């Protein structure tokens, strides 16, 4: 990493210290959700923005990451009462938060690999339906596999490990890994596939392998985000990770602009804060004594439709934001300019 990046990282770290000491619990929580959404959006961007497939599987992968990490971090004593039928070895296992989180991400990535085999051979849009199907499968398994998941009751009393530092750290890791990946030969191959899969294949690019790589890495970070989310809210149920979450991540991605990492960061931030604000307004609004629940979601959905019609490339138009360079005298070397399709 260059000096510039280190400077901005230090600046953010400082701001985070400030935030931690100045903000009340509610705002700290909102900020943590912003970082989790950055992880989700940046990782979804890898599949949907750079590789040109359209996955709607983030809720499913979050769910997998959240459940596995919850089972791994719960103290054996709580597991004995909550899940008495757990296999003994699992019941006595208690792993550090970071290990549990990584394992949650790995399990999500493995599931992605299995689902990817049939689906990634086809055009990208089958992935949309198949990954929504995966969400249904994961939910059904979570409801029915009661010995592990406690069924519809869900698991509560998760240790509240997630704090601003964890989500910030993981967001930095996500952005760094995906930025490196996108700017590597793998990433360029992914974009070549997005533009024209046949031409890419003709040039010797292994299309399926690259789409698979994007899908699995995306799923890994979704699993991480799920683990962080679970240990922030401290309770998970089969219905925690619904279609709504997936949709909202898609909205963040699209508002920021598919194919731009900085766009995803902006999109995730804006589309976390605005709806949060709208929701607070919504609960105080009513029309002739009739509460207007759902209004904020409608506004979001209409916004996204308008974005699609009038500014299809999102706020940043698929480009990357350049932070002002403080150390290089020359203008910072241009990063890979990324164009979105259409």
Binding site for other proteins (CB under 8 A): 48, 54, 115, 117-119, 121-126, 128-130, 132-134, 136-137, 140-141, 143-144, 198, 243, 247, 250-251, 254, 258, 292-295, 297-298, 300-302, 304-305, 308-309, 312, 341-342
Q: Which is nearer to other proteins, 17 or 243 (CB)?
A: 243
Q: Which is nearer to other proteins, 168 or 215 (CB)?
A: 215
Q: Which is nearer to other proteins, 19 or 307 (CB)?
A: 307
Q: Which is nearer to other proteins, 126 or 165 (CB)?
A: 126
CB of 114 to other proteins, least distance (A): 9
CB of 262 to other proteins, least distance (A): 20
Q: Which is nearer to other proteins, 79 or 139 (CB)?
A: 139
Q: How far apart are CA 3 and CA 30, in angstroms?
A: 30
Rg (CA), the chain: 20
Q: Which is nearer to other proteins, 182 or 258 (CB)?
A: 258
The residue written with tokens 């149920």 in the block is 237
CB of 206 to other proteins, least distance (A): 16
- Within 10 angstroms of residue 304's Cβ, the number of other Cβ atoms is 18
CA angle, 113 as apex, 107 and 119 as ends, to 5°? 140
CB of 298 to other proteins, least distance (A): 5
CB of 126 to other proteins, least distance (A): 7
CB of 148 to other proteins, least distance (A): 14
Q: How far apart are CA 319 and CA 258, in angstroms?
A: 9
Closest CA to 31 of 222, 269, 274: 269
CB of 132 to other proteins, least distance (A): 6
- Within 10 angstroms of residue 334's Cβ, the number of other Cβ atoms is 8
Could you tell me if 27 and 34 are in contact, meaning their C-beta atoms sit under 8 angstroms apart? no
CB of 133 to other proteins, least distance (A): 3
Q: How far apart are CA 63 and CA 233, in angstroms?
A: 13
Q: Which is nearer to other proteins, 80 or 122 (CB)?
A: 122
Q: How far apart are CA 14 and CA 25, in angstroms?
A: 19
Q: Which is nearer to other proteins, 3 or 239 (CB)?
A: 239
Q: Which is nearer to other proteins, 41 or 73 (CB)?
A: 41
CB of 292 to other proteins, least distance (A): 6
């Amino acid at each position: 990493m260059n000096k510039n990046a280190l400077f901005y990282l230090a600046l953010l770290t400082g701001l985070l210290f400030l935030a931690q000491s100045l903000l009340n619990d509610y705002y700290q929580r909102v900020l943590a959700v912003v970082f989790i959404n950055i992880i989700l959006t940046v990782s979804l961007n890898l599949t949907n923005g750079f590789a040109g497939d359209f996955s709607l599987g983030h809720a499913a992968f979050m769910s997998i990451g959240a459940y596995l990490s919850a089972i791994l971090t719960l103290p054996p004593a709580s597991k004995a009462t909550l899940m008495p039928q757990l296999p003994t070895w699992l019941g006595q296992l208690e792993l550090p938060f970071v290990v549990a989180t990584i394992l949650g991400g790995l399990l999500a990535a493995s599931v992605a690999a299995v689902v990817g085999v049939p689906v990634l051979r086809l055009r990208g849009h089958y992935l949309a339906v198949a990954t929504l199907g995966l969400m249904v499968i994961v939910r059904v398994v979570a409801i029915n596999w009661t010995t592990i998941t406690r069924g519809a009751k869900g698991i509560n009393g998760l240790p509240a490990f997630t704090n601003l530092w964890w989500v910030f750290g993981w967001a930095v890791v996500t952005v760094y890994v995906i930025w490196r990946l996108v700017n590597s030969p793998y990433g360029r191959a992914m974009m070549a596939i997005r533009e024209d899969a046949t031409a890419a294949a003709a040039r010797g690019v292994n299309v399926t392998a690259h789409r698979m790589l994007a899908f699995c890495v995306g799923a890994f970070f979704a699993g991480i985000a799920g683990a962080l989310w679970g240990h922030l809210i401290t309770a998970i149920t089969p219905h925690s990770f619904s279609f709504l979450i997936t949709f909202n991540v898609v909205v963040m991605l699209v508002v920021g602009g598919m194919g731009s990492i900085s766009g995803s960061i902006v999109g995730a931030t804006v589309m976390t804060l605005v709806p949060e604000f709208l929701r607070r307004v919504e609960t105080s609004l009513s029309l002739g004594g009739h509460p207007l629940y759902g209004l904020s979601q409608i506004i979001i959905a209409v916004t996204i439709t308008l974005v699609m019609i009038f500014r299809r490339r999102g706020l940043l138009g698929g480009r990357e934001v350049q932070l002002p360079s403080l150390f290089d005298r020359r203008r910072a070397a241009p990063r890979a300019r990324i164009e979105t399709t259409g």
